[in-house]
Amino acid sequence: MKSICLSLVLFFSLLISSLCFAQVPILNTYDSPQPKVVSPGLTTADNGVTVPSDAVILFDGKDLSEWSSKNGEPKWAVHDGMFTVTKGTGDIATKKEFGDFQLHIEFMHPADITGEGQMRGNSGIFLQGLYEIQVLETYNNENKTYVNGQAGSIYRQHPPLVNPLQKPGGWNAYDIIFTAPTFNADNTYRTNPRVTILMNGILIQNNAIIYGCTSDEKIYNQLKGGIRLQDHGCVVNYRNIWVREL
């Protein structure tokens, strides 16, 4: 009887092992193609910030030649290696459009900032011109507002996982990885857009699903779009903006 039990145990162990192995893809090694070589700092902006060699530089500290507005040339003020929202002049957007991309952008609220709620340093970064990543002064959660409207949120959809915002006067860096949506024939999503975001090197959105446009724009079969920065009537500074197409 003991030998039969041992045989059964061995049999089922082998069966389980074979079933587990069947679910593992066959591993293999191969020599090509080799990954593309990208230097993390081949191109250097005037302010000393390094930019990947395959990046498109959207702002180099000098001018807004890569941007436009509804009224033609942007009227936001360029100074000291940055540019500042000029209140009342409208949003600006990149002339070039992107599908999947990695975006680096830095923003700062002035040390003497005033206002409260959604009027305290409000701006926004619209991916493909449709999906807003909020820019707002919510350092240390001291500026009270709705949770999915604070800095780092996918506006009106997902609050940030944590709040690593610098206090006014300090620069904040967004690193955004965006996966563009795909569409069915009737313009509904086949796959929703997704986004992963690091603020100041800390993960705040983890492959989050974007359920649709975050403001009043209508969803349509758009595979590419520009990056739009919002004029919300508040003073916000931007610098060091580059994008890598994926």
Q: What is the pLDDT of residues 139-174, one digit of tens each?
A: 999 999 999 999 999 999 999 999 999 999 999 999
Question: In this predicted model, what pLDDT tens digit does every residue of 43-88 receive, in sequence order?
Answer: 555 555 689 999 999 999 999 999 999 888 999 999 999 999 999 9
pLDDT recorded at residue 240: 95
Pick the CATH number of 30-245 from 1.10.3720.10, 2.60.120.560, 2.60.120.10, 3.80.30.20: 2.60.120.560
Q: Distance between CA atoms of 206 and 158, rounded to whole angstroms?
A: 10
Residue whose C-alpha is closest to residue 136's, from 32, 16, 243, 230: 230
Q: What is the pTM of this model?
A: 0.86
pLDDT of 12 strictly over 60: no
**Confidence bin at 97 (pLDDT 50/70/90):** very high
Per domain, the residue ranges of the chain are 30-245
Query: Angle at CA 111, nearest 5°, toward 147 and 240?
Result: 80
pLDDT recorded at residue 48: 59
pLDDT recorded at residue 28: 79
**Confidence bin at 42 (pLDDT 50/70/90):** low
pLDDT recorded at residue 27: 76
